[in-house]
Amino acid sequence: MYAKYIKRLIDIIISLILFPLLLLLVVVVGILIKLEDRGPVFYKGTRLGQYQKEYKMYKFRSMIVDAPDIRNTDGSTFNSIQDPRQTKIGRILRKTSLDEVPQIINVIKGDMSLVGPRPSPLGNEHTYDDEYKLKFNVKPGITGFSQAYYRNSIDSQEKKKYDVYYSENLSFKLDIRIILKTIGTVFNRKGIYTNNDNSTNVSRKGINK
């Protein structure tokens, strides 16, 4: 009952309550982004959602226009405080997690949930085994188990394990635990970056637009 009906109802109610905050941020953050490089305010990246259906995920743009998509060798996204692709305002957005707020639009549209497994980028599908594919039984979330408890301080395999754990143990109690933990994690600003330096152990997958 919760997973099929109540969770979606809660997603819609909370997202509509937060929508005025998003509009305010669009004005303030949009002006700052435009002042820095005049590029687009939003980044729209293709992700795999529930049942591996593709959708466009919205974020405030935190990188330069046409930044190359750089991945670590395990297929995860390269993410470093020294990443030259980041804009000045982008670094602030990432440290505060404000870049994620536009995903409220995805929740309202039904592409995502407030809580769920991490959204999956395209390009790694060939690495997914049958166990990991269980994560696609539920919608990806703005936050989730690994984001709340570990953020980017654990490796890709551990993140995958917790994505599957969430999909198999989804409950109202677990969602509340994750939301409360997320608030603390965001304020503590720990585990923001996957890479501690500009490691050369990466590959380029194309262009982020």
How does pLDDT run across 57-72, given as a tens digit for each residue?
999 999 999 888 877 7
Sign of the four-CA dihedral 194, 70, 207, 51: negative
**Taking a C-beta distance cutoff of 8 angstroms, is the pair 81, 193 a contact?**
yes
pLDDT at position 193 is 56
Is the model's pLDDT at 18 over the cut of 50?
Answer: yes
**Rounded mean pLDDT, 13-42:** 96
Listed residue (60, 46, 51) closest to 100, CA to CA: 60
pLDDT at position 104 is 98
Look up the domain containing 133 and give its range: 2-208
Listed residue (145, 147, 142, 77) closest to 111, CA to CA: 142
pLDDT confidence band for 29 (50 / 70 / 90)? very high
- Rounded to two decimals, the pTM is 0.85
Is the model's pLDDT at 205 over the cut of 70?
Answer: no
Is the model's pLDDT at 199 over the cut of 50?
Answer: no
pLDDT at position 126 is 87
**SS3 letters for the chain?**
CHHHHHHHHHHHHHHHHHHHHHHHHHHHHHHHHHHHHCCCCEEEEEEECHHHCEEEEEEECCECCCEEEEEECCCCECCECCCCCECHHHHHHHHHCHHHCCHHHHHHHCCCEEECCCCEECCCHHHCCCCHHHHHHCCCEEECHHHHHCCCCCCHHHHHHHHHHHHHHCCHHHHHHHHHHHHHHHHHCCCCCCECCCCCCEEEEEEEC
Is the model's pLDDT at 14 over the cut of 50?
Answer: yes
Is the model's pLDDT at 24 over the cut of 50?
Answer: yes
Tokens 């997914």 sit on residue: 128
pLDDT at position 189 is 67
- Per residue in 103-145, pLDDT (tens digit) is 999 999 999 999 999 999 998 898 899 999 999 999 999 999 9
Q: Average per-residue pLDDT in the chain?
A: 88
User: Distance between CA 70 and CA 207 in Å, rounded?
Assistant: 9
How many separate domains does the chain show? 1
